Amino acid sequence: FTYLLGTWKDNGTSCIVTKACRNIMTKFGCSDYPLSHQLFYFMVADMKGCSDRLFLRAQYYKNIFCASMMKINLMIESNGFRFSSRDLFMENIMFCGMSGFSDFYKPSWLETVLTWQKPEEGCFGKPSENSEHPSRVKDQEQLLRRVKRREKVFADGCSSHNTAVAVGVLGGFLYYY
């Protein structure tokens, strides 16, 4: 991403595509966060107006990536929206929705995401003790040990990352409807 953004050095040239990056960002069969980051790479290239020949096929890759991301979201839904999958679920809606795939804007998914908002604080993050089935507590505790870079989790369980992604999702729904 640093070569794409031009942040690899002060006043660096943007839209540089290395062979290694091309191979990673066009690899099929990725899932979860690597897959959403592949899509995000092509979204950023579009926003930056990058003209490398790779980006002439951006829509082709977006179609494939979002089809896979829809399968993942449907699986997350069928598994009951486990806490450990919610962030990825929302990222997939946000990125594919922003890429023009309106089938991610399902009313039932909007209703579900809204139930994850902490009613007192208004943010998104770690569920309250009484909002999840007790058998899932161990899974949640394991996930919460892994903290994203620059992630801020507040004492009340609010997550800056989860809240930001949820705001992106809700904004997409508002724009679409």
7-26 burial by CB neighbour count: b if 16+ within 10 A, else e? Answer: eeeeeeebbebeeebeeebb
pLDDT band at 142 (very low <50, low <70, confident <90, very high): very low
Place of tokens 């800056």: 160
Q: Which residues contact 136 (CB under 8 A, 6 or more apart)?
A: 82, 83
| pLDDT tops 60 at residue 145 | no
| pLDDT tops 70 at residue 170 | yes
What are the helix and strand counts (H, E) for the chain?
Answer: 8, 0
Q: Which amino acid is at 145?
A: R
The mean pLDDT value of the chain amounts to 88
Q: Which two tokens stand for residue 105?
A: 């804007």
The count of domains in the chain is 1
**Mean pLDDT, residues 9-35 taken together:** 91
The percentage of the chain sitting over the pLDDT mark of 90, rounded to a whole number, equals 71
- pLDDT value of residue 138: 44
CA distances from 58 to 10, 45, 50, 126 (A): 27, 9, 11, 35
Question: What is the C-alpha end-to-end distance of the chain, expressed in Å?
Answer: 32
Place of tokens 């962030």: 87
**Mean pLDDT, residues 2-22 taken together:** 85
- Residue 176 in contact with residue 101, Cβ under 8 Å? no
Q: Which residues contact 12 (CB under 8 A, 6 or more apart)?
A: 2, 3, 6
- pLDDT value of residue 150: 65
CA distances from 134 to 12, 127, 143, 158, 162 (A): 50, 12, 15, 20, 22
- pLDDT value of residue 143: 46
Q: Which domain holds residue 75?
A: 2-176
- pLDDT value of residue 105: 98
Q: Which amino acid is at 64?
A: I
Q: Give the span between the Cα atoms of 130 and 177, in whole angstroms.
A: 32
